Structure 1
Amino acid sequence: MTKSSLVILTLNEIEGISALFDKIPFNEVDESFVVDGGSTDGTVEFFRERGVRVVSQKSRGRGEAFRIAERESSGDYLIFFSPDGNEDPGDIPGLLKLLDEGYDMAIASRFLPLAKNEEDDLRFPWRAWANRAFTFVANTIWNKNKYITDTINGYRAIKKEAFRRLKVDAPGFAIEYQISIRAMKLGLKIAETPTIEGQRIGGESTAESIPTGLLFLRFLFREIKIGRNL
């Protein structure tokens, strides 16, 4: 029987998780645990008080959190969720359903019809424009299947077997982009479902726009250089 693992990625998200915890459909998954990047605001204690296992990262970085999640999970499916308010926990069952239907990876897209990006109401949605640009390049170079609209959103589910085949090594926020690119390179079956991105709850995003964009560029050129070999 196929098992699913919900991985909750945290770094000082006490405000977000306090608001969202009761909305997370824990009953829809077989296992749930937290990978924490060094929270000091009570996030770790919050989960432990509620009986949720917390795995602490010895080295920082979102990419490392993804790799730790793969090693620590017992499920066949991995669902990555960040409780910062941007991601709707109500999308979790739909992402799992797409894997059950035979897809290797399912992404919650902020750019499909009926979806919403948190910058949609801004006059100059710089991050959304950058996302579309990086997504267009990846599709143009590597994707032979249906166009993927959101290669960067970390809110996604993936079969563990597929994740292992990707051999990802990105250290930070480029991890999701690298996963998408390598999934395209291998011709994996990728699906998307529209999501409504909410506003962040508490604090500032740890993904600074310019440094993160430069990191994406670095890994984009690296993936171009190595070709389809992983």
Structure 2
Amino acid sequence: MGNATPLSIILPAKNEADGLRQTLPALRSRFSDAEIIVVDDGSTDATAVVATEHGARVLSSPYSMGNGAAVKRGARAASGGILVFMDADGQHGAEHVAALLAKLDEGYDMVVGARDASGQANFSRGLANGFYNRLASWMTGHKILDLTSGFRAVRADKFKEFLHLLPNGFSYPTTSTMAFFRSAYPVAYVPIPVAKRVGTNSHIRPLKDGVRFLLIIFKIASLYSPLKLFIPTAVVFFLTGLGWYGWTFYEGGRFTNMSMLLFSAAVIVFLIGLISEQITNLTYRRDG
């Protein structure tokens, strides 16, 4: 790494002046030699001013590009061999960073701070996150305690391999975690408590959050092993078509258009899964 700073702490922030007043002094007192980067994602409050006053390096965007975009900007600018990502709203405590780093020293390439049920924003999101964890655990064959936690420590060289995969929105934790598992980079989880965020709580948008829920499910599959999602779906279509054909043949000795449609859907879904699997393999291909 040459003269690179060994540790860089990156905080994506949008209108988090109050949270930074609490978080930055705590980080600086514990990690005086660390590079602290605050990525100001188009804030309209004093986020950049507060960050500068507390000695952080500030990367400002003229408009909001999204949490994932802020993470990518911070990762590109960081000089540390170890990157720590945490929220700027006071939910993630500086006192828990050391636990992530200690686990990383055991030979892992990514360590994630896993929240318990009390750390979820609300009941519905807790249920959704629980479903994500179970689905991702099934896909990878490893127990995943918190797929969507943004509090994590990673080895910079490994993380930067996947910057092109990370979305600009809020599912960068899902994408990065599945990318690490897909590339056989070891991932560990450390249970951490989560404090109540400083400032206003995020608004619940049932429709938008529901769409995001579905997109993350498909992203989990496409980032790891699409066939694990497409083959069961194809089997459901095939068995439904077979059952419908059996019923219509028994009732009237007929093979109906609906049976043909269901059989065709099973074949199409299976073929799409094969293509997706090949695309996924190409995505993680490393030449040289």
TM-score, normalized by length of structure 1? 0.86
User: Which residue type is aligned with residue 118 of structure 2?
Assistant: N
Q: 1:23 to 1:185 in 2, by over 3 A?
A: same
Q: Deviations over 1:149-169 (max 9, x none)?
A: 101010111111211233423
CA distance in structure 2 between the aligned counterparts of 1:204 and 1:66, rounded to whole angstroms = 21
Instruction: Indicate the residue corresponding to 2:41 in structure 1.
Output: 37
Q: Does 1:9 align with 2:12?
A: yes
**Equivalent in 46, 50, 73 of residue 46 of structure 1:** 50
Aligned to 2:231: none
Over the matched positions of the two proteins, sequence identity in percent amounts to: 29
- Cα–Cα, structure 1 residues 126 and 207, in superposed 2: closer, same or farther, change >3 Å? closer
CA contact (8 A) 1:110 1:195 kept: yes
Structure 1 residue 213: Cα displacement: 4.4
| Residue equivalent to 1:23 | 26
Q: Is residue 135 of structure 1 aligned with residue 140 of structure 2?
A: no
Corresponding residue of 2:74: 69
Aligned 1:96-111 pairs, distance under 5 A: 96-111=101-116
In structure 2, stretches of 5+ residues that fail to align are: 227-272, 284-288
Report if the CA contact (8 A) 2:83-2:155 is conserved: yes
Q: Counterpart in 2 of 1:156?
A: 152
In the TM superposition, what are the counterparts of 1:74-93 in structure 2 within 5 Å? 74-93=79-98
Q: Which has the higher contact order (CA 8 A, sep 6+)?
A: 1
Report the residue type matching 1:15 in the other structure.
D
| Counterpart-to-counterpart distance in 1, 2:149 and 2:45 | 25
Which residue of 1 is the match for residue 191 of structure 2? 194
CA radius of gyration, larger in? 2
Note the C-alpha offset of 1:210.
4.4
- Relative to 1, partners in 2 of residues 1:206 and 1:182: Cα closer, same or farther, differing over 3 Å? farther
Q: CA RMSD in A?
A: 2.4
Give the CA deviation at 1:4.
1.2
Deviation string 1:60-103 (CA, Å, 9 cap, x unpaired) is: 11111121112100011110111212212211111112222210
Q: Distance in 2 between matches of 1:101 and 1:54?
A: 31
In structure 2, do the counterparts of structure 1 residues 26 and 173 end up closer, same or farther at CA, with 3 Å as the change threshold?
A: farther
**1:11-44: CA deviation from partner (whole Å, max 9, x where unpaired):** 0011212233322255435311111101111111
